[in-house]
């Protein structure tokens, strides 16, 4: 994969003394640094100049996060008010944007601040997590960092994973998921984690990785990194999302499932999620403009109840049923769940719908609690 190296680092004065900031500056000693009082002028400049997304990714901002770090994953409602089945996932927004360039990435049409940003006030994050987890020690929290940024893409020089993994190791009622498309696991291998961190990989067949997941680690390299984490005692997870239908998809995805379990023991896989390709109309236009050779916008996608373009429901059900069968042949005990799907799809794939969000979370995390 292509390692990230910014052309310039902007540092808000509020986080100039942060350990995360120190890690970055020491790891990138030749990169110019500018201390700024606020990132607001950068935002205003971005609005005035309308910089391209590719150009904006060349600059790294270390900023102070002034709101809440911990939020519920946006499950999403349809226009008819029908709620997607939610897995009770919580997300830490520790960073925004990504230097990798997946054609289908929703951040392209979502973020209004294009600079790659890391919120360096990690001690505030730890304090917030401690407060949230201590309110009810009988409740189990499943938390991830991969919503607005890849969890490990910048970890070689931020080392953000270190305090997070070490903190979660001391939390009996919480597990951290670090989701990535990289193979950058060096900082994780020697940490005390107490099996309270799960390393997760988003995966697609090599054909799609090469054509639509630009600057990411090759699939064999991701799986090798996963095996290193298993050997270090971690549980791992895999997210087939977005699953793309094309001529020969069945052969490619079945082969990928076998490749995973040829290398990774089923007992070390905490969970697997499935999500079919989906996008907003705005994202479709961005993909066509930025990635004119990508076939993704030209699939048979129709507006769903949530307003997103999706495959027809029977097509999605067929995809999920096939994936569930192939996974079940190799790892029948590994929890499998759907992402961003309604109850009727769950019923067609699994024969039932989870009773509620905590019940689904308990089923997903059964091997960890």
Instruction: Give 288-305 pLDDT, tens digit per residue.
Output: 998 998 989 888 899 988
Is residue 20 included in any domain, yes or no? no
Sequence-distant (≥ 6) Cβ neighbours of residue 331 within 8 angstroms: 261, 266, 269, 272
Residues 96-119: what's their mean pLDDT? 85
Does position 357 have pLDDT exceeding 90, yes or no?
no
Domain that holds residue 147: 65-112+121-364
- Report the chain's mean pLDDT, rounded to a whole number: 90
Is residue 22 included in any domain, yes or no? no
The angle at the Cα of 157, spanning 216 to 34, to the nearest 5 degrees, equals 110
Does position 81 have pLDDT exceeding 50, yes or no?
no
State phi, psi for 66 to the nearest 5 degrees: -100, -5
Is residue 321 included in any domain, yes or no? yes
Cα torsion angle, 170, 163, 337, 233, sign: negative
CA distance 109 to 77: 19
Q: List, in sequence order, the alpha helices (H) in 28-74.
A: 40-49, 53-56
Does position 51 have pLDDT exceeding 90, yes or no?
no
Is residue 310 included in any domain, yes or no? yes
Residues 346-361: what's their mean pLDDT? 80
Is residue 60 included in any domain, yes or no? no
Residues 116-144: what's their mean pLDDT? 95
The model's pTM is 0.93
Half-sphere exposure of 82 (CA within 13 A, CB side): 12
Is residue 328 included in any domain, yes or no? yes
The pLDDT, as a whole number, for residue 283 is 92
Pick from 55-69, 131-145, 235-249: least confident: 55-69
Q: Residue 78 — pLDDT band, cuts 50, 70, 90?
A: very low
CA distance 340 to 17: 40
Pick from 213-222, 274-283, 350-359: least confident: 350-359
CATH number for the domain that contains residue 344:
3.80.30.30
Is residue 320 included in any domain, yes or no? yes
Q: Residue 362 — pLDDT band, cuts 50, 70, 90?
A: low
Domains in the chain: how many in total? 1
Is residue 153 included in any domain, yes or no? yes
């Amino acid at each position: 994969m292509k390692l990230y190296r910014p052309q310039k680092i902007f540092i808000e004065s509020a986080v100039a003394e942060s350990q995360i900031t120190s890690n970055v500056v020491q790891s990138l000693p030749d990169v110019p640094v500018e201390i700024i009082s606020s990132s607001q002028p950068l935002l205003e400049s971005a609005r005035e100049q309308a910089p391209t997304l590719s150009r904006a990714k060349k600059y790294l901002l270390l900023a102070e996060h002034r709101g809440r770090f911990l939020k519920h994953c946006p499950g999403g409602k349809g226009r008819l008010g029908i709620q997607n089945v939610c897995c009770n996932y919580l997300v830490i927004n520790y960073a925004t944007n990504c230097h990798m360039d997946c054609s289908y990435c929703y951040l392209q049409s979502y973020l209004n601040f294009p600079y790659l940003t890391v919120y360096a006030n990690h001690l505030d994050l730890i304090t917030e997590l401690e407060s949230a987890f201590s309110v009810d020690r009988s409740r189990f929290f499943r938390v991830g960092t991969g919503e607005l940024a890849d969890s490990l893409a910048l970890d070689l020089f931020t080392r953000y994973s270190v305090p997070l993994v070490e903190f979660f190791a001391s939390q009996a009622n919480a597990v951290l998921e670090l989701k990535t498309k990289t193979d950058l696991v060096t900082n994780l291998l020697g940490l005390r984690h107490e099996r309270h961190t799960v390393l997760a990989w988003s995966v697609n067949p090599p054909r799609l990785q090469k054509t639509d997941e630009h600057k990411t680690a090759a699939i064999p390299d991701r799986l090798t990194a996963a095996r290193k984490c298993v050997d270090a005692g971690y549980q791992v997870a895999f997210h087939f999302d977005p699953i793309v239908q094309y001529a020969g998809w069945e052969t490619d995805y079945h082969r990928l499932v076998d490749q995973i379990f040829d290398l990774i023991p089923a007992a070390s896989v905490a969970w697997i999620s499935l999500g079919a390709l989906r996008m907003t109309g705005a994202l479709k236009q961005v993909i066509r403009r930025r990635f004119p050779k990508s076939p993704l916008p030209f699939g048979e996608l129709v507006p769903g109840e949530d307003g997103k373009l999706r495959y027809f429901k029977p097509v999605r059900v067929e995809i999920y049923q096939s994936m569930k069968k192939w996974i079940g042949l190799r790892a029948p005990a590994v929890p499998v769940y759907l992402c961003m799907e309604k109850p009727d799809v769950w019923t067609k794939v699994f024969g039932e719908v989870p009773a509620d969000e905590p019940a689904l979370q308990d089923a997903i995390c059964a091997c960890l609690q």
